Structure formats: C-alpha cells, structure tokens
Amino acid sequence: MDTRKDANIISGPMTLALTGYSGVFMRYAFAVTPRNYLLFGCHVVNFSAQLTQGYRFVDYWYMGGKDKSLKAQADQGLAEAEAGAQDIAGKVKQEARGAVDQAKDTVDKAVGR
C-alpha cells in the first residue's frame, strides 16, 4: 500500500494535479445523462487517496516529518547495533568460558587429578 512507503517519494505537483483532476471529473460524472455512478465512485476514491498523499507530502516536507523520519531511522540503526554488540559479547563470553574450562581440564590432567 502506498501509504506505507516513505513520504519523500511523493511528488507534490503530481499529487495536486491528480487531486484537481479527480475533483473536476467527479462533477462531470454527474453532468452526463444517465449519471455515471461508477465513474463518480472511482473519482471519489482517487480524490481521497490523493488528499491522503497530499497530507503526507506536506507533513514530510513542511511540518517536520522529515526530521522525525530521520530520527526514527537513526534510533532503529542504533538499536540494531546495540543488539548486534550484545550478541557478539554473549558469544565471546561463551567462548571464553569454554577456553577456561579447557585450560582447567589441561591443568588437572597435568597435575594428575
């Protein structure tokens, strides 16, 4: 669904043009005889979708959405890095315990226990 994609790919001029187009041709779907309810419905849906995309465009570029998006991406990258570091630290600790146990076994064998 397009509302889940990043808002920086939305074209403001194209969104405005498609909103205007759907708004105008909604009227003409009712101006013809017989009235074309299916065409009217299609333009209503498209008009609504373009208004949603227009809001996302304005929010991203003019109302601080870009900064929020960049901060969220940075926070996600930091969380992934921390998780990776914890995973590596756990593996290192496990390997160190194994090496200590092996050294103890070697010492015990050398001493004769």
What would the pLDDT profile of 41-90 be if each residue is shown by its tens digit? 999 999 999 999 999 999 999 998 878 878 887 888 888 888 888 889 88
- Looking at residue 58, its pLDDT comes to 95
Single pTM value for the model: 0.62
| Pairwise CA distance, residues 77 & 74, whole Å | 5
| Residue of 1 and 81 predicted with greater confidence | 81
Is residue 35 left, alpha or beta, with left meaning phi > 0 and alpha meaning psi from -120 to 50? Answer: beta
Mean pLDDT rounded to a whole number for the chain: 90
